[in-house]
Amino acid sequence: MSLKRLIIMRFRIGTRGSALAMWQAKHVAARLQEEFQDIDIELVVIKTRGDKILDTPLAVIGGKGLFTKEIEDELLAEGIDLAVHSLKDLPTELPSGLCIAAILKREDPRDVFVASGAQSLDDLKPGARVGTSSLRRRAFLLNKYPALDIVSIRGNVDTRIKKIDSLNMAGVILAAAGLIRMGYSKKMSFIVDPDVMIPAIGQGALAIEARESDSNVLERLSFLNDPFTETCVSVERAFLERMGGGCQVPMAAYCAPLGSGFQFTAAVVHPDGKPMFREQYVTDSIKPVDGSHIADLLIHKGASRILREVLGRNWRPGSDASLIETI
């Protein structure tokens, strides 16, 4: 009896080169190889604009797709077959021909404080230095703790943690998901209350991007999609799309389970911490249009004043955005 030759499909996965991005790409690769015996996977590291500019705050750099454009260009050019992104880096409007093929089950979306000594933000003394690369985190901190000294820092997880001592900081705020994935859970001093600091839109979720026309890839990726996570982040991203502004304006939206239903919390904060406009919505079922409706409520409450002050008088709701925020 003759043996049939196993036909191998090659999947080229595009990823950034940071330690966390590589972990994420390898995680997806491992899941695919566990599921299918007939695929061979190659990781393709692609340097993005955001990776090249390391001495400027992300909100100052601005622009869509700061950590995704070069990877998407490779997808369109068929240099790679799929790309793994932190969902919060991915613009709400994708290039023509590309789609989100799967959204994996979300890791803990909250923010954490990394330091020695402090057990809560309330323990920090006036003037304490806290490091973050995120305008969102800065604004929420200043809203409740205006006496803190917020220090802008960038770099990988290890670099930021080392800066606690070198920059004489009380600590740094990072995403729990990244620390957990990197095996750094023991470095987390405490979880920041999400009522104080609403998580970033899409934080903790991984998205796989692919070409709409590549049915073989799309079919293979479908098993990775987590419907519950997809529902929640779709509402958050609908809010972001309606608000516009992206990383230039501190805003946040978080859809979470509550009993048998959902709780959706969103806010727009002035970069200096005040004013803040906030809404919370509890429902048995939720869909993306609910995120857009909450955005409209915030706009009508006064968030539009912040958006026009930061983005200019020509700001209009509905423009595309991405929440450019690293771990």
253 close to 246: Cβ distance less than 8 angstroms: no
Q: CB-side exposure of 51: number of CA atoms within 13 Å?
A: 16
Q: Kindly state the tokens that stand for 323.
A: 């929440």
The closest of 88, 134, 175 to 269, measured between CA atoms, is: 134
At 112 the three-state DSSP class reads: strand
How far apart are alpha carbons 149 and 146 in whole angstroms? 8
- Tell me the H-state helices in the chain: 19-35, 49-52, 58-61, 69-76, 135-144, 157-166, 176-181, 215-221, 227-243, 288-298, 304-311
Q: In the beta sheet, which residues pair with residue 280?
A: 265
Q: Kindly state the tokens that stand for 253.
A: 């939206």
Catalytic pick from 38, 40, 81, 89?
89
Sign of CA dihedral 167, 172, 178, 179: positive
Which residues fall within 8 angstroms of residue 227, CB to CB, at 6 or more apart? none
How far apart are alpha carbons 105 and 45 in whole angstroms? 24
How far apart are alpha carbons 131 and 144 in whole angstroms? 16
Our answer to whether residue 226 is catalytic in this structure is: no
Which residues fall within 8 angstroms of residue 218, CB to CB, at 6 or more apart? 99, 101, 210, 212
Catalytic residues: 89
